[in-house]
Amino acid sequence: MSEETDPIVVGWTTVSQSLEAEDLAERIVASGAAACVQVEGPTRSFYTWEGRVHREGEMRVWVKTTLSAEPRLREVLRREHPYEVPQWVAVRAESVLPEYADWVRECTRSAPEG
Q: Which amino acid is at 48?
A: T
What is residue 7's predicted lDDT score, i.e. its pLDDT? 98
CB atoms within 10 A of CB 104: 22
Please report the domains of the chain, with CATH numbers, ordered by start residue. 3-108 (3.30.70.120)
b/e sequence 51-88, b meaning 16+ C-beta within 10 Å: eeeeeeebbbbebbbbeebbebbeebbeeebeeeebbb
Q: Return per-residue pLDDT of the chain as tens, 114 residues.
A: 545 689 999 999 999 999 999 999 999 999 999 999 999 999 999 999 999 999 999 999 999 999 999 999 999 999 999 999 999 999 999 999 999 999 999 999 975 544
What is residue 110's predicted lDDT score, i.e. its pLDDT? 72
